[in-house]
Structure 1
């Protein structure tokens, strides 16, 4: 396997691992696991998000840019970011508290599945759709929103509930709402740019 693709695979493999790190303390209600997860969620996610830089760096440095990589990289991004978003639908605060309303998660999920379908149609026509600027900006906002949510959640798990917790929840919901808007703006851009491929594919 190419070096660049190895870094991409790390993101794919980390997605279910992160899901477990986030949720096992919620399932077990273990104070120890709450604290352990609070200390490791952000550093681990930062480490694996950094692989997005390294896969692109080594792809260019080693001449490993390929149609496969153009598909695999955004797929890995989606796997990891959707995992974080799914976790954001539940909080250690309990009582149904969430950072991301389930309806927003569902709409973003539909967008990502639809985008994946468009990529498959393009591949069937001999074209690999790489991430466009709008898609990359959307991903950056995905990551920023995810880290904000984890910062608040980690504080809760360590026993620190900010006096402004309710306000932070509102901020998180606003950030995830912006993620939703950006995701569909970029989706429309992809459709407009590759409309001829989609039309011919049907």
Structure 2
């Protein structure tokens, strides 16, 4: 078991801890939840960096890393949808979750065709991930209606726009295969 894979597993183990902290009835629970999310987001970057730098990429890591990311983001968005109880939180959250499902299925299908490289992560996807992680941290840390919460919500909308942009890019790259299979 390599260090990058251990970091990915730690990220998955953070998810139930994140949920428990979110619901604790203490003033410090939200900052701790946000910090746990931030630590998990940092391990996302760090495990990939180490796997490439130390030449420790594995099929297990290639499978588990995106699963851990999507689980972490989906759970955080689910918690925030409940917390904000607002259409304005629900819309970008569902866009982000829906895109993740579509692109995961698209990548899996393209891999079956031996063409996964045509839907590899792009710079827009990396920018989307950075904006998304920062937005989720801010939304978990600050209370709804506060300046920090409003800034986090604005950043979530930017992230949702980048999400749609990257999804369109991936679908455009896969389009020849999609229409050929109809």
Superposition TM-score tier, normalisation by shorter sequence: 0.7 to 0.9
Name 2:82's counterpart in structure 1: 90
Alignment of 1:39-118 (within 5 A): 39-66=31-58, 68-91=60-83, 97-98=85-86, 101-118=89-106
Q: TM-score, normalised by structure 1?
A: 0.75
Q: For residues 110-153 of structure 1, what are the alpha-carbon distances to aligned partners after superposition, in whole Å with 9 as ceiling and x for unaligned? A: 11111111011012123445422111110000011112112313
Compared with structure 1, are the counterparts of its residues 138 and 36 closer, same or farther at alpha carbon in structure 2 (3 Å cutoff)? same
Alignment partner of 1:120 is 2:117: no
Q: TM-score, normalised by structure 2?
A: 0.82
Secondary structure of the structure 1 residue equivalent to 2:13: helix
Name 1:138's counterpart in structure 2: 128
Q: Structure 1: how far apart are the matches of 2:34 and 2:154?
A: 21
Q: CA RMSD of the aligned region, Å?
A: 2.6
Between Structure 1 and Structure 2, whose CA radius of gyration is higher? 1
Structure 2 spans left out of the alignment, 5+ residues: none
Task: Judge which range, 139-148 or 62-71, deviates more.
Answer: 62-71
Are the equivalent residues in 2 in contact too, given 1:12–1:80 (CA < 8 A)? yes
Are the equivalent residues in 1 in contact too, given 2:34–2:141 (CA < 8 A)? yes
Q: Structure 2: how far apart are the matches of 1:198 and 1:3?
A: 37
Return the structure number with greater helix share: 2
Query: How many residues are paired up?
Result: 180
Name 2:176's counterpart in structure 1: 196
Aligned counterpart in structure 2 of residue 171 of structure 1, from 141, 151, 165: 151
Name 2:167's counterpart in structure 1: 187
